[in-house]
A = this chain, B = another copy of it.
Amino acid sequence: MKAATTLLQISKILSLSPSTVSRALKNHPDISPVTRQKVLDLAKQLEYEPNLNAVGLRTSNTKEIAVIVPNLSGFFYGSFISAVEEEARRAGYSTIILLSGDDPLVEIENLKICRQRRVQGVLACLSARTASIEAFTRLKKVEISVVFFDKVPSDADEITVRVGDEEAAAVAADYLISKKKKNVLSLFADVNMSITNRRLTTFRQIFSSRSLQQNYFVEHATSSEAAEHALMHAWKSSHRPDAVFCMSDEILIGVMKAVHRLDIKYPGELGIIAISNGFFPNLYYPEITFVETSGYKLGQLAFKRMVLEFEGKTAPRDVALKAELIEKGSL
């Protein structure tokens, strides 16, 4: 139970100065091969690992980034984080993960932690109930870069990386039209979220511009249960839909429960399409046709965008991941 080896210890054993050891360890060209080797050997033998707290303090280069997500109870954020962690590790960064629980107060607390740790960047997905992003923007004052992802603020000044909401909604709407659906139950999430609005707006545009006789009716479901009931209600109404569009996995899950509950046959009686990360559509039989919005790809994109910011390079402030239709036969 002793503390870890330090640079000073190595330097003393070898009768060298700390600076020489430091340089040897990072292959500085000034150091003679023979000295370098001696240092490297001893370092390995003593299991020397640099104290990143000291390095971070000295260089203000902590090589740490933080990811703030609302939760981990879906596949989207998990795959996002996987991608970030992978890319980050490759680039020598550690990833600290912070959950907001969709609580703006916890979000603020998380940002405090980011300051305290002197992380170099924050990848943030806004909580559903965040009213102001002021606490985020203030981070820039202390040289912490902020890249928003997925649930991004509408503020055009911010760096954002998100799935191509407009495109995804357009692809789905196009497909519904091409399949000649006449009466599409269109389930969207909370109307106050910008992601909902972007998807909804485009969805409406496509329908009104491309189709004259095809109908859709929009409902907002803020939970799986709400989506489940929305479909059950519509199914029993006089205006039974011939297709359902699900804006998210959460909504798809509710819809599928209703489908099984009412024993609805799809695609026969009802066509189903969703915007999804791709995991849940694969859970059902038949599998569900969906427009893919990959959390993994988004994570890669987000980290790379953040690094560009670190390097001070100019890059687009708003990046959207392109959407892809995956046909599975449910519509």
Residues on A close to B: CB < 8 A? 1-4, 47, 49-54, 56-57, 60, 62, 64, 71-73, 75, 77-79, 81-82, 85-86, 89, 94-99, 101, 109, 112-113, 115-118, 138, 140-143, 253, 256-258, 260-261, 279, 283-285
Copies in the complex: 2
Q: Is A49 a contact of B116 with CB atoms below 8 Å? A: yes
Task: Kindly name the residue among A53, A96, A118, A283 whose own CB sees the greatest number of chain B CB atoms within 10 A.
Answer: A53
- Other-chain residue from B52, B64, B97 in contact with A95 (beta carbon distance below 8 A): B97
Determine how close the nearest CB of chain B comes to the CB of A326; give it in whole angstroms. 17
Determine how close the nearest CB of chain B comes to the CB of A95; give it in whole angstroms. 6
* Chain B residue contacts of A285, Cβ below 8 A: 257-258, 260-261
Other A-B pairs, 15, CB within 8 Å; known A89-B98, A89-B113: A1-B141, A2-B143, A4-B118, A47-B141, A53-B62, A72-B79, A78-B78, A82-B99, A85-B97, A86-B99, A96-B96, A96-B97, A257-B284, A260-B284, A260-B285
* Chain B residue contacts of A75, Cβ below 8 A: 73
* Chain B residue contacts of A115, Cβ below 8 A: 4, 47, 49
* Chain B residue contacts of A71, Cβ below 8 A: 82
